[in-house]
Structure 1
Amino acid sequence: MPRIGLDLPTVIRAATELADAHGLEALTLATLAQKLQIRSPSLYNHVNGLPDLRRHLTIAGLTLMSELFGKALADQSGDEAIRAFSHAYLSFARAHPGLYEAVQRAVEPGDNVLEEAAGKVVDLAVNVMEAYGLRGEAAIHAVRGLRSLLHGFASLEKQGGFGMPLDLDVTFRLLIDTFLEGMKVMQTKGDMML
């Protein structure tokens, strides 16, 4: 019988706290049970093992990302939308390193809930590219490029890869400005690039 007051949202919140504090790989059913002050088998009333727990974390992370991106993109378009999206992305990675790690994994085909959650994030990013006249495959290529830049920066920052005493926010701004110059090239060349 499940502990009174313990439900799936409570389990996911506790798992998020552990993953954010110690990394996704450090999250186990045993550490989660200890945090919740229950026995590990009790978690099976809410999740179907560690893979299912991680799936729930991915959904929670994607949901939070889409909420943050939606707020950041409100009333924004073009360069300002890309800047807002980029800052929201980096803020999410900094505030929730465990959830950020969870959302980097590819979605299993056929998992409709995960596909829908990931699709919302992708749709927000693709919609930003419309201001540059990019649609379809061209927009996806642009989104992949932006994601690669943002993920690279976020990962290097998290791992302490920027050792020189220079302002990281300036570096990040220059990185986004350079990407925006590339977007102007894509905009003028359009489908000829594909």
Structure 2
Amino acid sequence: MAQLNFAFLKSSSLFSNQYKTANKILKLYEIEDYRDVMVNSRLLLEAIVKKIFTIENLDRYYPVHTGNRRTLRSDTFYLQSELHYPTSIINLFNEVRKFGNDAVHDEDYSISKGQAWRCICDINDIFVFLLNTYKEQKLYYMRPDIAMDAATHARDSFKKRTIKHPIKKTITSKSKNPEVKLAKQYLKQKKKSKFSTRLRKFLKK
């Protein structure tokens, strides 16, 4: 199998916080703890998705049908509807999520070495897609099908994306509304008048 490491995350301005977890997954693979590879990959995917919401300045409280709750699955669908990521990349999200669900909920589910490696490659290629498109890095995909898709659609679905920052609203005390301005002037004049009246009464004593 090809060599894989997540060292490229260490210096990443977007995903440096995810390096430790990604590296832990590799170590779990090395000691043949394939179930925990799946479980931790799913947890890492949740962190990645949360980061994408921040990068794209998306609403974490997007609407859902009554009685439903927001899950990793619904988050992924929402990202796809808003961002139109390549289908091949969204499939990686879904595969990691399903692997993780099976590992957590089905004790009898048999996880092979090949499946664990595929899950790690999925995580790697998700990171590569995000860093190549948002930060214009030139990282390599592990899965040949993803590499081929990226090469074929480099100018459309795999093109450069812009990181969106939250818009900060500037609050100013000066209002352009003439009625508000007149009201403020009236209150100011009224305060001055009351102060003058109190002062005259005080001086008469």
User: TM-score scaled by structure 1?
Assistant: 0.28
Larger radius of gyration: 2
Structure with greater helix share of residues? 1
